[in-house]
Chains A and B, each alone.
Chain A
């Protein structure tokens, strides 16, 4: 395979993932709004008077989850674009060498992001609408839903589509920042990898991240304290949660590498495992971005589940009536199921990003893999190395997300309902089924993520290593 075709395949793979991510986010938004509209139609047919208020409330909830999905997909796209550019450094340097300006090069990447976002968003919206339509017809035909005059297509649908296009464009713009750092000289000599020290030393970002986290945690603690006397504590807590979590995402390039290292140590000391551990930490920023999406997803799922379960425990302590207790348990269970599905979709988008990151990194490392093969790495060892990398990233993300989710969920329940129990702090209730589900999901995801990259890695001929640079 020549360098040119390899580069082309690189671009292609990255673009495919971005289209998929934009499509998933857009389809999710469109379907969610359509379901909201269906519920509105059913509610208004049932003769309720305050239909407008119900619809507004539902739309608000829908947009909250759409915002989460768009946020996660923007992180994933930024990462994908940055990864592609890292692999295309030489091509960009060559273009710079023969006279193209860095800004023109960056514009190409951003414009590409706009195209990708538009294609993905429109395709996602179409497929989402088709799914909604088919689902609705099926539910009406089987008699689950009444046969009413549903409107699936409404102007509001343009909003998630537009948001996805714009966010993909913006993400491509942010991700393409690296283009500016490519020197024309890199086309002449061998491109040096940015060392870990270079990437980690970004003082302004670190300071902001630490400030956000510090302020957020203080507010969160304040929320829990205030929550013991008044439910308004949740407002403090919410602000604290958003601030501290933003700080966490911003500082992920500092937080994730040690967690990844810890996860790597669990994999053992065999050569493939040690190489995998080193690889996952080789580009701290990149692996941080690849995993932070999954961290966000797992944190949100866990947070809602722990908040719900803790709320359930608190309520049952204050209520003696078993009928009421059962009713609360049922409400909590139903809401949690719905919320898990809604947030789970964002986790899926994050997973796509992680898979793509792994695939890209294998493509960009074919020379190194060739070297290992030449020195006597068996195909099985190569496969295990890729699997270990994937396991390490997924495990680190899920473990961290679980810890964060338990903390945030508990803080949310305390600040919102603490006043109701008047019995001091309640320990966080962790639904263990969820933990097991997350762990199983992680292993499945990690294994599935390696299928394609591992096949590619194994097909790298040992001779690749001997080709001149």
Chain B
């Protein structure tokens, strides 16, 4: 019998993934034979310079984009062949997102934004889920902000709402795309500490795309991409080490 990704302790996995844009003569290769697994319960950073393919990789793993070749799994579900409707339901129920630009719905208040994944699914949170959300909003310091609208909040507060929204459904995997990119360094560190705590405290699997070595130093594991290929796979490292690896990649290029 074939080994399933979950047997390997993986929340998500891609094998021999390739992605090219454009047609033959002007084709650009964004990903070239990438095989990686995101370990369950871990905080993984995906690093690389601009154009390394890290965003494309995340888009494919999150079911937002399709690969040209290779396979992608979320848990034991192969998502590379799924149609749009199935991918939509998968994103809604099994994946959480945190974006660089916060991306809250401006017409909804904080509570509405946090509960959005449930209302999109056409259901109310169960009492266990409600308890979890209450605990979450409390620990993120949003308890007294629930009726505020996004434009009444600071950037750091908005990002905390986005984190609450991403964690609310306890998804199998949370993707964070440069989550500190729009924040000052102190607020950015707070957000990273919260993500780290979600991983160690609740066993939440998180995959974070970033090009900031300080952000990556909060992760349990760091994958380095360059020119569409996986070039390094490190366990927890300091910001200095990560910077050195990044510089080395630049010099080789």
> Interface of A with B (CB < 8 Å)?
190, 192-193, 195, 270-271, 274-275, 278-279, 281-282, 367-368, 371-379, 381, 461-463, 465-466, 468-469
Of the candidates A192, A381, A466, which one forms a contact with B151 in the assembled complex, judged by CB atoms under 8 Å apart? A192
- Would you give 23 A-B contacts (Cβ < 8 Å), ordered by A? A193-B106, A271-B120, A275-B107, A275-B108, A279-B107, A282-B107, A371-B99, A373-B88, A374-B62, A374-B91, A374-B97, A375-B92, A375-B97, A375-B117, A376-B91, A376-B120, A376-B121, A377-B88, A378-B88, A379-B88, A381-B120, A461-B64, A462-B91
Are the CB atoms of B116 and A271 closer together than 8 Å? yes
B247 close to chain A: CB less than 8 A: no
> Interface of B with A (CB < 8 Å)?
55, 59, 62, 64-65, 84-85, 88-89, 91-93, 97, 99-101, 103, 105-108, 116-117, 119-122, 149, 151, 165, 177-178, 181-182
Are the CB atoms of A376 and B100 closer together than 8 Å? no
The 8 tightest CB contacts between A and B, nearest first, are A376-B92, A278-B107, A271-B119, A469-B101, A376-B91, A371-B103, A462-B64, A378-B88
A273 CB → nearest B CB, Å: 10
Chain A residues lying within 8 Å of B182, measured Cβ to Cβ, are: 469
Are the CB atoms of A374 and B106 closer together than 8 Å? no
Are the CB atoms of B55 and A193 closer together than 8 Å? no
Chain A residues lying within 8 Å of B92, measured Cβ to Cβ, are: 375-377
Chain B residues lying within 8 Å of A374, measured Cβ to Cβ, are: 62, 64, 91, 97
**Known contacts A271-B119, A462-B64; A379 and B85 CB within 8 A of each other:** yes
**Known contacts A373-B88, A463-B59, A465-B103; A270 and B97 CB within 8 A of each other:** no
Of the candidates A270, A271, A282, A469, which one forms a contact with B106 in the assembled complex, judged by CB atoms under 8 Å apart? A282
- Taking A279-B107, A375-B91, A376-B88 as known contacts, 12 extra A-B pairs with beta carbons closer than 8 A to each other, sorted by chain A number, are A192-B151, A275-B107, A275-B108, A373-B88, A376-B93, A378-B89, A381-B120, A466-B64, A466-B177, A468-B101, A468-B178, A469-B101
C-alpha spacing A368/B181, complex, angstroms: 19
C-alpha spacing A270/B120, complex, angstroms: 8
**Known contacts A270-B122, A368-B105, A371-B103; A376 and B177 CB within 8 A of each other:** no
* Count of CB-CB pairs between chains A and B under 8 Å: 82
Chain B residues lying within 8 Å of A469, measured Cβ to Cβ, are: 100-101, 182
Nearest residue, chain A, Cβ from B92: A376
Are the CB atoms of B119 and A463 closer together than 8 Å? no
Chain A interface, DSSP helix/strand/loop, else mixed: helix
Chain B residues lying within 8 Å of A379, measured Cβ to Cβ, are: 84-85, 88
C-alpha spacing A195/B149, complex, angstroms: 10
C-alpha spacing A469/B88, complex, angstroms: 23
Nearest residue, chain B, Cβ from A272: B120
Nearest residue, chain A, Cβ from B90: A376
Nearest residue, chain B, Cβ from A378: B88
Chain A residues lying within 8 Å of B149, measured Cβ to Cβ, are: 195
Are the CB atoms of B151 and A193 closer together than 8 Å? yes
Which of A274, A462, A465 gathers the greatest number of chain B CB atoms within 10 Å?
A462
C-alpha spacing A281/B55, complex, angstroms: 35
A374 CB → nearest B CB, Å: 6
Are the CB atoms of B64 and A278 closer together than 8 Å? no
A277 CB → nearest B CB, Å: 9
Are the CB atoms of A468 and B100 closer together than 8 Å? yes
**Known contacts A279-B107, A466-B177; A274 and B119 CB within 8 A of each other:** yes
Chain A residues lying within 8 Å of B177, measured Cβ to Cβ, are: 466
Chain B residues lying within 8 Å of A373, measured Cβ to Cβ, are: 88
Of the candidates B55, B106, B121, B122, which one forms a contact with A368 in the assembled complex, judged by CB atoms under 8 Å apart? B106
Chain A residues lying within 8 Å of B88, measured Cβ to Cβ, are: 373, 376-379
Nearest residue, chain B, Cβ from A365: B106
Which of B89, B105, B181 gathers the greatest number of chain A CB atoms within 10 Å?
B105
**Known contacts A371-B105, A463-B64, A466-B99; A378 and B55 CB within 8 A of each other:** no
Of the candidates B65, B89, B122, which one forms a contact with A463 in the assembled complex, judged by CB atoms under 8 Å apart? B65
Chain B residues lying within 8 Å of A275, measured Cβ to Cβ, are: 105, 107-108
Chain B residues lying within 8 Å of A461, measured Cβ to Cβ, are: 64
B198 CB → nearest A CB, Å: 18
Are the CB atoms of A372 and B120 closer together than 8 Å? yes
Chain B residues lying within 8 Å of A376, measured Cβ to Cβ, are: 88-89, 91-93, 117, 120-121
A370 CB → nearest B CB, Å: 9
**Known contacts A278-B108, A375-B117, A376-B93; A195 and B151 CB within 8 A of each other:** yes
Chain B residues lying within 8 Å of A190, measured Cβ to Cβ, are: 101
B21 CB → nearest A CB, Å: 13
Nearest residue, chain B, Cβ from A270: B122
Nearest residue, chain A, Cβ from B118: A271
Of the candidates A193, A368, A378, which one forms a contact with B85 in the assembled complex, judged by CB atoms under 8 Å apart? A378
Are the CB atoms of B116 and A375 closer together than 8 Å? yes
A307 CB → nearest B CB, Å: 40
Nearest residue, chain A, Cβ from B115: A271
Nearest residue, chain B, Cβ from A467: B101
